[in-house]
Amino acid sequence: MEKSNILPTHIGIIMDGNGRWAQKRGMLRSIGHRYGTETIKPAISFCSGKGIKYLTLYAFSTENWKRPSYEVDTLMSLISEYLTKETAEMKANNVVLHFIGDIDKIPQKARATISWAEKETSENNGLNVNIALNYGGRAEIVMAAKKIASLSKQGAVSEDDINEGLISSLLYTAGIPEPDLIIRTGGEKRLSNFLIWQSAYSELYFSDVLWPDFKDDEFEKALDYYASRKRRFGGL
């Protein structure tokens, strides 16, 4: 099979480097986040054109609240702005929008826009775009553990019922295939609490390119890397 025919079903992206991209140009970090947001649209278009079924974007982690308040406020405003601007086109292009993470802790205006965007695209059946917002992999596993404890208290599950399938079904990503490929831009080589349960057998691709500069040609390099891998899942 040619490399071009070996495509991941699900790609996760850690969109890193927005702030550094801006600082290199003498701009505020917040401006870098705006340029980073503008890179999402071509990424969605690229994946849709390739026939990728799922794309999960790491937009804001549970740890990102530690950043300066002006930067956090900018990120939250950009979420509402982006969805207001782009949802109609995503709806027309058959994209399904879904948000994963502890959305209840997001500011009300952004939550309302998120709910609207999800509803607007809910009847589509093309590329599924999952945006991880106030998301943390460890917090997600803790959430699943608490759900299991509650179910156990109710007598709904026993110790023998607790397995990987049960845990997976209680995560934000329930019903979504595990990522085949995780891309991190910006030069860092770590997962930073992104899909840590789901990425057990993901192929990892690290790019030095900062997210605002991650265009189609860089995406092609990531797909070529994925196609070159032999995925054994612990076997031979």
Residue in 16, 18, 130, 193 annotated catalytic = 16
Q: What is the CA radius of gyration of the chain?
A: 18
Asked if 14 contacts 131 with a C-beta cutoff of 8 angstroms, the reply is no
| Alpha-helix residue ranges (DSSP H) falling in 103-203 | 108-121, 137-153, 164-169
Task: Count CB neighbours of 51 within 10 A.
Answer: 10
CA distance linking residue 6 with residue 27, whole number of Å: 40
Structure token digits, residue 216: 């189609």
Q: Whose CA is closest to 198, among 56, 17, 49?
A: 56
Residue in 5, 18, 64, 93 annotated catalytic = 64
CA distance linking residue 189 with residue 47, whole number of Å: 23
The type of residue at 24 is K
Secondary element (H or E) of residue 209: none
CA distance linking residue 36 with residue 179, whole number of Å: 22
Concerning whether 216 is annotated as a catalytic residue, the answer is no
Task: Count CB neighbours of 52 within 10 A.
Answer: 20
| Residues involved in catalysis | 16, 64
